[in-house]
Structure 1
């Protein structure tokens, strides 16, 4: 009796969905083409879709992608780091700072709140008497473009 040849089964390329673990390479650029972030070649980004580990627009962009697929998406500010909020910009008296600090525009400072919470702010204006600090995320109010390459989709069993 002659043996029957075994058929090679092609791995199914199932699209990424909520609950899946995905691994991606990406480059993020601003509208002027400036790169603001990218995954290192040897360390792609891995996250679980639906766990809010990345900005909402990025998570949405990978849904439906399959291993090997590449996609370019522009994510509006509201789906990224939100709009720039004026109430997060405040002017403070320089006397509140330790004397050893000589802030310049563009410096980032860690501020400790009354409740001991910590946040990072950017110095946006300096005068002899005051500092203007911006507590918005540095990318708030900006649309972001990402080139995304899906490296792997690992399907997770649905628990419900």
Structure 2
């Protein structure tokens, strides 16, 4: 049985749990596992190092500090926008997550954190930035 090593293509199911035990995200909900290559930069090095050596059918709970999971909130990712820019049917209210066009044309999710008069504050940090999380992984395939 092959074990996970550098450059392995890994297929796995994961569930991300917050400190209070609530589930933030899970591939089980999406109905299909995640696939990535160790070393491709899609995961933090610390998280990858926790996966190295695991084999198919292994289950492991990996506790990650915020900086090794989704990073710490970056104040540069918080923007103030003119309320007039929000047009259409969508309700502009605190807590709403909206898609914005990034500089490269890709959509970036932003969460509205504050509305004062005509100024709308939008936070483009990952919703889990700054949070310690536990990844529960189930290894399905290693190539």
TM-score range, shorter chain: 0.7 to 0.9
Query: Which residue of structure 1 aligns with residue 13 of structure 2?
Result: 25
Partner-residue secondary structure (3-state), 2:39: coil
Residue 100 of structure 2: which of 104, 107, 111 is its match?
A: 111
**Residue 14 in 1 paired to residue 8 in 2?**
no
Kindly tell me: are residues 46 and 117 of structure 1, through their superposed partners in 2, closer, same or farther at Cα, counting changes over 3 Å? closer
Query: Which residue of structure 1 aligns with residue 110 of structure 2?
Result: 121
Q: Which moved more, 1:143-152 or 1:41-50?
A: 41-50
Structure with larger Rg:
1
Partner-residue secondary structure (3-state), 1:95: helix
Q: Which moved more, 1:69-78 or 1:87-96?
A: 87-96
**Residue 34 in 1 paired to residue 22 in 2?**
yes
CA distance in 2, matches of 1:114, 1:46: 27
Partner-residue secondary structure (3-state), 1:40: helix
Q: Could you tell me which runs of 5 or more consecutive residues in structure 2 were left unpaired when the two chains were aligned.
A: none
Residue 38 of structure 2: which of 49, 52, 69 is its match?
A: 49
Q: CA deviation at 1:123?
A: 0.4
Alignment root-mean-square deviation, CA: 2.4
Query: Does structure 1 conserve the Cα–Cα contact (< 8 Å) formed by 2:95 and 2:112?
Result: yes
Q: Which moved more, 1:98-107 or 1:81-90?
A: 98-107
Residue 91 of structure 1: which of 50, 75, 80 is its match?
A: 80
The structure with the largest strand share of the pair is 2
Alignment of 1:136-147 (within 5 A): 136-147=125-136
| TM-score (ref. length: structure 2) | 0.82
| TM-score (ref. length: structure 1) | 0.75
Query: Which residue of structure 2 aligns with residue 67 of structure 1?
Result: 56
